[in-house]
Amino acid sequence: MPEAKLAEFGRAYAAALLAGDEVAAELVVREALDAGLGMPAIDDEIIAPALWLVGDLWERGDISIADEHLATEISLRVLALAREARRVSQERPKHRVMLAAPTAELHVVALRMTGDLLRDAGYDVVMLGADVPPPALAVSATRHKPDVICMSSTMPGGGDQLLVSMHEVQEVWPGAAFVLGGRSLTSRLRMLPGVEICERVTDAIEAVDALVKRAASN
Ligand code: B12
C-alpha cells in the first residue's frame, strides 16, 4: 500500500480517537482491511501511532485522562470487531451460496455481480443463472445443499415466483436461508423470517454473513 494512503488511514484513525468517535474509528479499520492491509500493519502503523499521539497530547495537558481512557477503550473495541470480521471471513469458504433467477426471469446482471462479490469474499458459489423453475431449483438445492440462496427478480409478478421457489426449496431443503433483490420485490417478501432483502448488490456480503451467523447460533 502507498505510504500516502497509509498515512491517510493513520490520520483518520487518530482524528476518530480524539473525537471519541468509535464508529468512525471502526470504519477506518474496515476500510484499511478492505484495501488489503493486514492486521499486523493496522496494529503497528495505524492504531499504535494514534495511541502514542493520544499519550503525548495527554502528557502536554492538551487532553484529559478521560479522553485518553476513551481512546484506549475505542481501540480495544475496534480490535475485537476486527477479530470478529476476520473470523467471519475465514469461515466463508465452508459455506455454499446458490444463485438463481426464477421462472421466466432473464435479467441476471445483478445476480452475476452478486455471485462475483460473494466468490471474491470467499464463499463457495454455485450459479444457476436465469429462468430456473421451482422444481429444478429444489432438486439443485438438495444436491448442492446451499446455506443461502440468492435470487433476483425484475419482471412484474416476479415476487410471487420467488415465493413459490422458496416454498418449494423449503419443502426439501429447509436449511437454506434466502437473500432477495430486484425491482419486483413486494412488501410481503420483506416480512418473511430467514429472508434478507438487498437494495444493492454490495449489500449481499453483509446479508449472507448475517444469515450464516444466525444459522450457526441456532
Ligand atoms: C439488460 C436488460 C435486459 C436484458 C437482460 C440481459 C441479462 N442477461 O440480464 C434483456 C435484453 C434480456 C432484457 C429483456 C427484457 N426486458 Co429488460 N432490461 C434491461 C436493463 C436495460 C438493465 C437491467 C440491468 O441489468 N440492470 C443492472 C443491474 C445491476 O441492476 P438491477 O437489476 O436494477 O439490480 C439492482 C437492485 O435491484 C439490486 N438487485 C437486483 N437483484 C438482486 C439480487 C441480489 C441477490 C442482490 C443482493 C441485489 C439485487 O442490485 C442492483 C443494484 O446494485 C433494464 C433497465 C433498467 N432500468 O433496469 C431493462 C428492464 C429491466 N427490462 C424491461 C423489460 C420490459 C424487458 C422485456 C419485457 C423486454 C421485451 N419486450 O422483451 C424483456 C423481459 C425478459 C424477461 N422475461 O426477463 C423493463 C422492466 C419493467 C418492469 N419491471 O416493469 C426495464 C426496466 C426497461 C424499461 N425501462 O422498461 N432486458
Pocket test for ligand 1, best of 98, 105, 106, 107 (most atoms within 8 A of CB): 107
Distance 106 CA to ligand 1 centre (A): 8
Q: Please enumerate in sequence order all residues whose Cβ is within 8 A of that of 124, keeping only pairs 6 or more positions apart, or say none.
A: 93, 94, 95, 96, 97
Q: Which residues on adjacent β-strands are paired with residue 150?
A: 99, 179
pLDDT at 27: 94
- Answer yes or no: are the C-beta atoms of 182 and 97 closer than 8 Å: no
Distance 154 CA to ligand 1 centre (A): 6
- Answer yes or no: are the C-beta atoms of 24 and 36 closer than 8 Å: no
Closest residue by Cα to atom 25, ligand 1, is: 109
Residue 127 has pLDDT above 80, yes or no: yes
Read off the pLDDT of each residue in 189-199 and give the average, rounded to a whole number: 89
Distance 173 CA to ligand 1 centre (A): 29
Q: Which residues on adjacent β-strands are paired with residue 181?
A: 152, 198
At 154-173, the pLDDT tens digits run 999 899 999 999 999 999 99
Distance 79 CA to ligand 1 centre (A): 41
Closest residue by Cα to atom 30, ligand 1, is: 110
- Pocket around ligand 1 at a 6 A CB cut-off: 104-111, 113-114, 150, 152, 154-156, 179, 181-183, 198, 200-201, 203-204
Pocket test for ligand 1, best of 116, 154, 195 (most atoms within 8 A of CB): 154
Question: b/e map of 203-217 (b: 16 or more CB within 10 Å)?
Answer: bbbebbbebbeeeee
Rounded percentage of the chain residues whose pLDDT exceeds 70: 100
pLDDT at 33: 87
Q: Which of 88, 115, 72 is nearest to 33 (CA)?
A: 88
**Cell numbers that stand for 25 in this block:** 474509528
Q: Which of 208, 167, 160 is nearest to 186 (CA)?
A: 160
> What pTM, to 2 d.p., does this model score?
0.86
pLDDT at 36: 84
